[in-house]
Amino acid sequence: MSKPIHPINVETELMQAVTDGQWVTQAFAARILGVSVSTLNEHITSLRVSGTVNESELTLKSAEGRRLVSRKKKCIGITTLHAIAMKARRYDIANSIRSSFPNDQLVATVVQRPEMDFFSLLQILSGIVDVLPQEKFGRYVVDFYLPQVRLAVEYDERRHRYRIDKDLTRQSEIETKFQIAFERVQEGEEIAGLTRVTTRVFRALKPSESGFPRRPNVMPPIAEALS
């Protein structure tokens, strides 16, 4: 596995690696994400199904010893690198891409540290349901989506509370169009929010699907799991 670039150098590395304002080689993309090229290609293949991959084969010049050699290299676009970073939950890389290359095609969400921390808390549900970050629904993106129970979880940071009316309108549109439920969690109320999410998951799943009988007294001990 490639060694990830230290976060402090990500934006500098990106600016130096980009060709024609929008392309990076697959080798660079794998290195910056800290994965193998084969793993990177697995992500590309999954994105290709949805038609969201921007890829090309470019002739690039590079120094080999004392010679400047032109070789064809497989490349992906910045928008695809951003999509893979989000899919791989490398929010630090995704944020650096948005910072370095403002682009309307990139998901207009920069993932902040409190939201990343709450995502870590949601991992206590791992193995019971999938927790998909930054899931798209039409023109909108929800913070987290639990597909097995059709539940969207929105993490509302304090700085976003002034736009609650707009967020609720957006939520209503998604609920109506895609027939999914919402749970909103306020910053500073993570444990209470996590308990609500967990309760809804276990109520929605059949006993055989959750691995637990459907009785309140056998709900997983949240406080213990977080300690």
The CATH number of the domain holding residue 164 is 3.40.960.10
- Average confidence (pLDDT) over 90-100: 76
Residue span of the structural domain in which 214 resides:
113-226
Alpha-carbon distances, residue 223 vs 138, 202, 206 (angstroms)? 36, 17, 24
- Average confidence (pLDDT) over 2-20: 61
156 and 207 both lie in a single domain: yes
Q: Could you give the number of structural domains in the chain? A: 2
The pLDDT assigned to 143 comes to: 86
Neighbours of 200 (CB within 10 A): 16
Of 69, 100, 131, the residue at which a domain comes to its end is 100
Q: Is residue 2 part of a domain?
A: no
46 and 146 both lie in a single domain: no
Q: Is residue 18 part of a domain?
A: yes
Q: Is residue 106 part of a domain?
A: no
127 and 211 both lie in a single domain: yes
73 and 120 both lie in a single domain: no
Q: Is residue 203 part of a domain?
A: yes
89 and 168 both lie in a single domain: no
- Here the CATH number for the domain that contains residue 64 is 1.10.10
96 and 117 both lie in a single domain: no
Residue 5: name the closest of 38, 35, 25, 40 by CA: 35
pLDDT per residue as tens digits for the range 206-216:
655 545 444 33
- The letter for the amino acid at 15 is M
Tokens of 17: 């690696």
Q: Is residue 108 part of a domain?
A: no
| Residue % of the chain over a pLDDT of 90 | 16
- Whether residue 9 is predicted with pLDDT greater than 60 in this model: the reply is yes
Q: For all residues of the chain together, what is the average pLDDT?
A: 76
